[in-house]
Amino acid sequence: MDAVDRTIINALQGDFPVSENPFADTAASLEMDEATLIARIDAMVSDGVLSRFGPLFDADAMGGAVTLCALEVPEADFDAIAEIVNSYPEVAHNYERQHQFNMWFVVAAESRDIVDEVLLDIQGRTGLIVHDMPKQDEFFIGLRLEV
């Protein structure tokens, strides 16, 4: 990641134009050419700096369901349990955290019924209680990172 990549990341965190030539419009405001901008974004996606370039959806507004879950996993079983949890396409993120509740993951699906099925399945396969903590309210901040 060099200075040009940083400029692109800092400038394009939220409001990519919805116009006929959005890359050309953006490139002009960043004083670079369209082909360079497109190639830079493409390379950052390939290199894994960006997980993708596009929209972040509000799953609620789409009629989907999302929840955050915690497990208390015995240290010796951690990798095996992680493999089980990560095998579900509905599991979007999974982090090990330093706490009695040491595995935290997000489950997203098109309905709460499907989320419930996934949680029950995980509970059955791991033998652990899945602590289900669906959001009750979200205080939106608009993630912005200076890189």
* Footprint of other proteins on 99-118 (CB under 8 A): 99-101, 104-106, 108-112
Size of the residue set binding other proteins (CB under 8 A): 83
Q: Which residue in the block uniquely carries the two structure tokens 């010796």? A: 76
Q: Which residue in the block uniquely carries the two structure tokens 């190639």? A: 39
Closest CA to 130 of 59, 60, 66, 67: 67
Contact 84, 122 (CB under 8 A): yes
Q: Does 33 bind other proteins (CB under 8 A)?
A: no
Q: Which of 44, 121, 123, 126 binds other proteins (CB under 8 A)?
A: 44
Q: Does 137 bind other proteins (CB under 8 A)?
A: yes
* Nearest CB to other proteins, comparing residues 13 and 124: 13
Per DSSP, the three-state class of 104 is: strand
Q: Does 3 bind other proteins (CB under 8 A)?
A: no
Q: Does 95 bind other proteins (CB under 8 A)?
A: yes
Q: Does 30 bind other proteins (CB under 8 A)?
A: no
Q: Does 91 bind other proteins (CB under 8 A)?
A: yes
Q: Does 53 bind other proteins (CB under 8 A)?
A: yes
Residues 61-80 close enough to bind other proteins by CB under 8 A: 61-68, 70, 72
Residues 48, 143, 140: CA angle, nearest 5 degrees: 140
Residues 110, 113, 117: CA angle, nearest 5 degrees: 105
- Using a 10 angstrom Cβ sphere, with 0-12 exposed, 13-18 middle and 19 or more buried, the burial of residue 25 is middle
Q: Does 147 bind other proteins (CB under 8 A)?
A: yes
* Nearest CB to other proteins, comparing residues 39 and 124: 39
